[in-house]
């Protein structure tokens, strides 16, 4: 950047906002981050929301690596080498994530990650964080934001909306424009539960794996923590016969858990207390356009696209946004062009991610323990071992590569078509050969 130092305001010090601050400072901006919540480094978990852990995969790692943070993050996480599927009869099956060594995920605590990001960004002399300050207005043409407590108008050359799924920055950015906007809620919600470590910090289940309890009516996923415990997300309908609303007392909760997760129940001594005390979160998909206004305002992360968590990609996609935005700012000296290039490069792919994440709900809910799914997954793995460069499973492309989401989907569709064609030709040849041999015999 030439000329006087430009000022960037980042709205939201969540995962995307903090990483964006790091990248913008590196590009020479003076950066002010305004965050509604208190400082996560001093406030403890209660103030930052929930104690949850997230699965970090290739896209998120690539972005953290670019920011020089990957090693520090991995040192705080637990590798997950595959998925342990728990069946209703209490038996389990381990499905490795990939066939190659590096194809693993990492379970990281959101708060740990956030503290590291905020620490790193605020170590930069040009970055300042302002906690407990809520965005209340934004003038997209003047380039100003209004923040509350105390009320103040802040001028900026660039405003980055990183304020999550119900983004106020987005609302102000799009106000009065012909903006497309679609939100869709899943009838299911989620809550966090715990599988504590056993005596002496010994994990009660295989630690270096993601645990899944699939089910039509309720499903649970557990990520490991470094202290030997696992944090579970329980997903089920908000209302109805099997639902959060129906689990009103201990008896109902225990009967439900006995039926749905017989082997998990004994691992979760606090199940009923947690279920009765913890809030139930909502799951929403948001697709919208535009993500930017001229050279002044741009959205990243959940503010730009929210997806159901069933592919474990929300944070990863948010980090990838930051990386692509940074690359576009580097490539195009004109910021309007850079922001347009960023939106054009990202939006088609996050729209596809929304579809994939919704499709994976069906998958996780029902098919993971069905013979058909197991067979298909085994075939996927076998084919990718046989044809390592030509056959790559969709999950591998999404979780273990940085192939843009839409390209990953297109590639898998091509693979499937080629396989179908090969099977058809193969069958035809076999039938022909059989006929010829029959004829040969008949003569």
Q: Residues interacting with a copy of itself, by CB under 8 A?
A: 178-185, 187, 238, 282, 284
Binder among 13, 113, 159, 364 for ligand FAD (CB under 6 A): 13
Q: 53 - beta bridge partners? A: 109
318 makes contact, choosing from a copy of itself, ligand FAD, none, with CB < 5 to 8 Å by partner type, with ligand FAD
CB of 244 to ligand FAD, least distance (A): 14
180 makes contact, choosing from a copy of itself, ligand FAD, none, with CB < 5 to 8 Å by partner type, with a copy of itself
Is residue 343 part of the contact set for ligand FAD (CB under 6 A)?
Answer: no
**How far apart (Å, rounded) are the C-alpha atoms in residues 72 and 76?**
7
Binder among 21, 55, 244, 286 for ligand FAD (CB under 6 A): 55
Strand stretches in 217-322, DSSP E: 218-224, 230-237, 281-289, 292-293, 297-299, 305-306
Nearer to ligand FAD by Cβ, of 214 and 309: the residue is 309
Is residue 12 part of the contact set for ligand FAD (CB under 6 A)?
Answer: yes
CB of 361 to ligand FAD, least distance (A): 12
179 makes contact, choosing from ligand FAD, a copy of itself, none, with CB < 5 to 8 Å by partner type, with a copy of itself
Written as one string, the DSSP assignment of 343-383 is: HHHHHHHHHHHHHHHHHHHHIIIIITTSHHHHHHHHHHHHH
CA angle (144 as vertex; 138, 146 as ends), nearest 5? 55
CB of 261 to ligand FAD, least distance (A): 17
233 makes contact, choosing from a copy of itself, ligand FAD, none, with CB < 5 to 8 Å by partner type, with ligand FAD
CA atoms within 13 A on the CB side of 83: 21
Distance of CA 417 to the CA centre of its chain: 29
Nearer to ligand FAD by Cβ, of 233 and 288: the residue is 233
Written as one string, the DSSP assignment of 318-331 is: HHHHHHHHHHHHHH
Which residues, numbered 253-292, are part of the site for ligand FAD (CB under 6 A)? 281
238 makes contact, choosing from a copy of itself, ligand FAD, none, with CB < 5 to 8 Å by partner type, with a copy of itself
The contact mask relative to ligand FAD for 143-182 (x = CB under 6 A, - = no) is: -------------------xxx---x--------------
Nearer to ligand FAD by Cβ, of 25 and 165: the residue is 165
Tell me the backbone φ, ψ of residue 241, rounded to 5 degrees. Answer: -60, -45
Is residue 77 part of the contact set for ligand FAD (CB under 6 A)?
Answer: no
CB of 177 to a copy of itself, least distance (A): 9
Query: In Å, what is the CA distance from 434 to each residue of 218, 239, 346?
Result: 49, 58, 52
Q: Which residue's CB atom is positioned nearest to ligand FAD? A: 14
**How far apart (Å, rounded) are the C-alpha atoms in residues 162 and 199?**
41
Is residue 224 part of the contact set for ligand FAD (CB under 6 A)?
Answer: no
Which residues, numbered 121-140, are part of the site for ligand FAD (CB under 6 A)? 134-135
CB of 61 to a copy of itself, least distance (A): 33
* Three-class DSSP category at 434: helix
34 makes contact, choosing from a copy of itself, ligand FAD, none, with CB < 5 to 8 Å by partner type, with ligand FAD
Tell me the backbone φ, ψ of residue 168, rounded to 5 degrees. Answer: -75, -35
Identify the burial level of 190 via C-beta atoms within 10 angstroms of its C-beta, where 0-12 means exposed, 13-18 middle and 19 or more buried: buried
82 makes contact, choosing from ligand FAD, a copy of itself, none, with CB < 5 to 8 Å by partner type, with none
**How far apart (Å, rounded) are the C-alpha atoms in residues 87 and 73?**
32
* Three-class DSSP category at 426: helix
3-state helix, strand, coil in the chain (%, to 5): 45, 25, 30
Q: 137 - beta bridge partners? A: 146
Selection from 336, 310, 299, 283 nearest residue 157 by Cα: 336
Nearer to ligand FAD by Cβ, of 25 and 318: the residue is 318
Which residues, numbered 300-319, are part of the site for ligand FAD (CB under 6 A)? 301-303, 309, 312-316, 318
Binder among 9, 10, 17, 156 for ligand FAD (CB under 6 A): 17
224 makes contact, choosing from a copy of itself, ligand FAD, none, with CB < 5 to 8 Å by partner type, with none
190 makes contact, choosing from ligand FAD, a copy of itself, none, with CB < 5 to 8 Å by partner type, with ligand FAD
Nearer to ligand FAD by Cβ, of 224 and 312: the residue is 312
Query: In Å, what is the CA distance from 109 to each residue of 54, 55, 313, 340, 393?
Result: 6, 9, 15, 33, 28
Asked if 65 and 78 touch (Cβ cutoff 8 Å), the reply is: no
Selection from 174, 165, 433 nearest residue 307 by Cα: 165
**How far apart (Å, rounded) are the C-alpha atoms in residues 389 and 325?**
30
Q: Give the residues lining the site for ligand FAD (CB under 6 A).
A: 11-17, 34-37, 54-55, 134-135, 162-164, 168, 190, 233, 281, 301-303, 309, 312-316, 318
């Amino acid at each position: 950047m030439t000329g006087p130092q430009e000022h960037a305001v980042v709205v939201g010090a969540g995962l995307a906002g903090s990483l964006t601050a790091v990248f913008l400072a590196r590009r020479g901006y003076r950066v002010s981050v305004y965050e509604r919540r208190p400082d996560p480094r001093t406030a403890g978990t209660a103030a930052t929301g929930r104690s949850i852990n997230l699965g970090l995969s290739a896209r998120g790692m690539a972005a953290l690596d670019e920011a020089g943070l990957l090693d520090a993050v991995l040192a705080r996480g637990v590798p997950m080498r595959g998925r342990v599927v728990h069946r209703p009869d209490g038996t389990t099956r381990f499905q490795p994530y990939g066939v190659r060594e590096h194809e693993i995920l990492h379970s990281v605590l959101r708060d740990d990650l956030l503290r590291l990001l905020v620490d790193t960004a605020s170590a930069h002399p040009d970055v300042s964080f302002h906690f407990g300050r809520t965005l209340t207005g934004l003038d997209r043409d003047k380039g100003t934001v209004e923040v509350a407590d105390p009320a103040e108008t802040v001028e900026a050359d660039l405003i980055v909306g990183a304020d999550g799924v119900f983004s106020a920055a987005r609302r102000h950015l799009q106000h009065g424009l012909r903006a497309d906007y679609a939100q869709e809620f899943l009838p299911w919600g989620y809550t966090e539960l715990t599988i504590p470590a056993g005596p002496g910090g010994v994990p009660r289940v295989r630690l270096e794996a993601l645990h899944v309890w699939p089910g039509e009516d309720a499903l649970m996923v557990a990520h490991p923590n470094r202290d030997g415990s696992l944090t579970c997300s329980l997903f089920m309908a908000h209302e109805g016969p099997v639902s959060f609303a129906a689990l009103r007392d201990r008896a109902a909760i225990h009967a439900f858990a006995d039926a749905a997760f017989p082997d998990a129940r004994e691992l979760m001594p606090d199940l009923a207390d947690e279920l009765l005390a913890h809030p139930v979160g909502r799951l929403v998909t948001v697709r919208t356009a535009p993500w930017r206004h001229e050279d002044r305002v741009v959205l990243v992360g959940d503010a730009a696209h929210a997806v159901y968590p069933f592919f474990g990609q929300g944070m990863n996609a948010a980090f990838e946004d930051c990386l692509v935005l940074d690359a576009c700012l580097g490539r195009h000296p004109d910021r309007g062009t850079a922001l347009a290039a960023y939106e054009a490069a990202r939006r088609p792919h996050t729209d596809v991610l929304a579809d994939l994440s919704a499709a994976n709900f069906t998958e996780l809910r029902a098919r993971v323990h069905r013979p058909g799914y197991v067979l298909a997954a085994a075939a996927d793995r076998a084919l990718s071992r046989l044809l390592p460069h030509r056959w790559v499973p969709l999950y591998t492309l999404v979780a273990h590569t940085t192939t843009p989401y839409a390209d990953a989907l297109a590639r898998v569709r091509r693979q499937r078509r080629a396989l179908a064609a090969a099977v058809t030709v193969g069958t035809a040849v076999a039938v022909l050969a059989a006929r010829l041999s029959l004829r040969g015999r008949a003569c």
